[in-house]
Amino acid sequence: MFSLARHILSYTILICTIYNDVVTTQLLFHKYKILYSRKVDNAKTTVSYEGVRDSGANTVRIRNIEVEMPFKQETSSFAEISEGGYGEDEIIQRPKRDTKKTNTTERVISAVDSNSLKFVDGDEQDINQTIVNSNISLRINSTDPETYTPAAKSGMVSVINTGLISKTTYDKLERTVRYMTYVTQIIAVVLVCFNIIVFSRHTMRSPTSSYLIAVNISQIFTIVSGSFLTIAGFIFGDKAFFSYNYLFIGLYISNYFTVATRRCTFVLTCLVAAERFLAVAFPLKSKHFKLVRKPILFIVTIAVLSFIFHIFSVLKYDIIPFQVGISNETFWKFQFTKRFLENKANMESWSIASKIIFVYIQLIGCLILNIGIVIALKRHRMNRLRLNSSEDVSKVAQEKQTTVTILVSTFVFVLLALPVNTSSVVANLNRINYGINTKNHYLFYFLMHIGGWFELLSDCTNFMFYIALSSRFRKTFAQVICRCFSTPLERTESIDYNSTRTCQYGLSVVSQSSH
């Protein structure tokens, strides 16, 4: 089994590498436009850069540099390529104009390890405003960070403002989704804890409950770790994006731990569907499968593999300090690691492989297994009709009820996970028109936010389906609630009563067997 898994992983990484090369070729001469503006003495300078990234020649070609300067003041602005601290810098433009004038030129910049196109003015004081476009990171540098905004002057509009959703609309929608997320997180934590408590009861013990406990533990880790970044944002306020602790939480918890646990949930949900399929399709042989006999082994293996496979997330960035102004106050920012720059193609292929293995295959697998469960249930129903059996045996009826509950909950889980993952697929296939800093920049971010809320909502719906469809879950949950609100004396009496009923039931069975 492990040999087969190793071969599948090798071929998947190979396919992802080929796919990444094809996408890179498609973006070889993708045009991008960079606009920024700055106010100086109640006037404004607007600079427009339009160019192409020539990946084959390892250069960045900047063309059509237009500078509008409607004020009489000598300035010194230029663009340079920043190559991670070990590349050459070349001045592109140093305009000195007394009146409004437009200058157009074309230059080629050496970019052996180019990763950021940086605009410098005056003291080169960095506000670390990073925008990614066609694998190029644009960093705007200014002593007055609030004056740098996407330019919209003389008919020029930033590309990200030309999509289906404007920034104003996006801000309103994002604020609404954010508040919805806060409320849903609190509700989800409570309901997931109920699931764990109920499935941990002795009366609910089974291979299915073991997998469901693991799913709910993974979900609660995802919810709690995902809320850390929000809490840190409230604590650090406006300086959050330049705080080491906030960036540390973002890199190691939000970008690594949360993603690993969420994708672990996908795999475990697929295993739940697989276990139910085996139990329904092969009722006599299912107990001999390792998936049913050793659930703990599979759960631990999946968790370890998920955290190992997503380690590339923390290998991609470093958190480095920088200083602003004469105060020598230290701020922090992300920077690509040397390891990532040297192995960029492999790391990106690794990232694509993780999505395919831990997300897309699992979601498709859940749908296929659910179809198999429906077919198996229909076949069993036809068999009972042929045997003229009008009633199910109690144990068989309970198994059927459990199967239907798992079927519905996993189907809704997959359905609610589709929006955010479909958006991610579209962004990978159409990087020019959809994704970060493209025409539909704000549409992409809105779908990511609402898709994340849908995934969070699926953590709540599981409890609702368990309560509505499983009588055993309802009964056990009621016992847990009654036990929480009962006095110690009432608990003792309840235990004695249940023990007496059990003994009486056992004696009656023995008496009937003796006759």
Specify the DSSP element, H or E, that contains 128. Answer: strand 126-133
Q: Which residue is listed with tokens 């300035």?
A: 75
Do both 137 and 185 map to the same domain?
A: no
Do both 361 and 290 map to the same domain?
A: yes
- pLDDT, tens digit, for every residue of 250-278? 889 988 999 999 999 999 999 999 999 99
Do both 435 and 487 map to the same domain?
A: no
**More confident of the two residues 293 and 493:** 293
- pLDDT, tens digit, for every residue of 304-320? 999 999 998 888 889 99
* Of 31, 12, 88, residue with least CA distance to 351: 12
* Of 396, 413, 401, 483, residue with least CA distance to 455: 413
Question: Does residue 2 lie within any of the structural domains?
Answer: no
Do both 145 and 204 map to the same domain?
A: no
Do both 79 and 121 map to the same domain?
A: yes
Q: Which two tokens stand for residue 374?
A: 């429906």
Question: Does residue 117 lie within any of the structural domains?
Answer: yes
Do both 208 and 76 map to the same domain?
A: no
What CATH number has the domain bearing residue 398?
A: 1.20.1070.10
Query: Per-residue confidence at 489, pLDDT binned at 50, 70, 90?
Result: low
Question: Does residue 33 lie within any of the structural domains?
Answer: yes
For the ranges 13-17, 142-146, 261-265, 422-426, the lowest mean pLDDT is seen at 142-146
Do both 488 and 463 map to the same domain?
A: no
* Of 194, 211, 206, 215, residue with least CA distance to 266: 215
CA angle 323, 324, 327 (to 5 degrees): 95
Do both 308 and 190 map to the same domain?
A: yes
Do both 446 and 363 map to the same domain?
A: yes
**More confident of the two residues 354 and 324:** 354
Hey, which residues does 47 pair with through a beta bridge? 36, 67
pTM higher than the cut 0.85: no
Q: Which of 103, 134, 157 is the last residue of a domain?
A: 157
Query: Per-residue confidence at 132, pLDDT binned at 50, 70, 90?
Result: very low
What are the CA-CA distances from residue 1 to residues 5, 6, 290 (Å)? 6, 9, 11
Question: Does residue 178 lie within any of the structural domains?
Answer: yes
pLDDT value, residue 81: 26
CA angle 356, 359, 362 (to 5 degrees): 100
Query: Per-residue confidence at 131, pLDDT binned at 50, 70, 90?
Result: very low
Domain count, the chain: 3
- pLDDT, tens digit, for every residue of 390-437? 555 566 677 788 889 999 999 999 999 999 888 888 888 887 888 888
- pLDDT, tens digit, for every residue of 83-92? 222 222 222 2
Do both 380 and 407 map to the same domain?
A: yes
Q: Which of 124, 157, 190 is the last residue of a domain?
A: 157
Query: What distance in Å separates the CA atoms of residue 84 and residue 117, rounded to the nearest whole number?
Result: 11
Specify the DSSP element, H or E, that contains 320. Answer: strand 317-324
Question: Does residue 151 lie within any of the structural domains?
Answer: yes
Do both 433 and 465 map to the same domain?
A: yes
Q: Which residue is listed with tokens 């992409």?
A: 444
pLDDT value, residue 296: 93
- pLDDT, tens digit, for every residue of 326-338? 667 788 888 899 9
193 conformational bin, left if phi > 0, alpha if psi -120 to 50, beta if neither: alpha
- Domain of residue 69 covers 26-157
Question: Does residue 103 lie within any of the structural domains?
Answer: yes
Do both 90 and 135 map to the same domain?
A: yes
Describe the crossing of helices 167-199 and 471-485 by its angle, rounded to 10 degrees: 80
Question: Does residue 379 lie within any of the structural domains?
Answer: yes
3-state secondary structure at position 422: helix
State mean pLDDT over 107-129: 29
CA angle 345, 136, 252 (to 5 degrees): 65
Query: What distance in Å separates the CA atoms of residue 267 and residue 263, rounded to the nearest whole number?
Result: 7
> Residue 134 above 60 pLDDT?
no
Question: Does residue 13 lie within any of the structural domains?
Answer: no
Q: Which of 157, 179, 205 is the last residue of a domain?
A: 157
Q: Which two tokens stand for residue 292?
A: 């049913």
Q: Which residue is listed with tokens 């109690």?
A: 394
> Residue 64 above 50 pLDDT?
no
C-beta of residue 37 within 8 angstroms of C-beta of residue 378: no
> Residue 80 above 60 pLDDT?
no
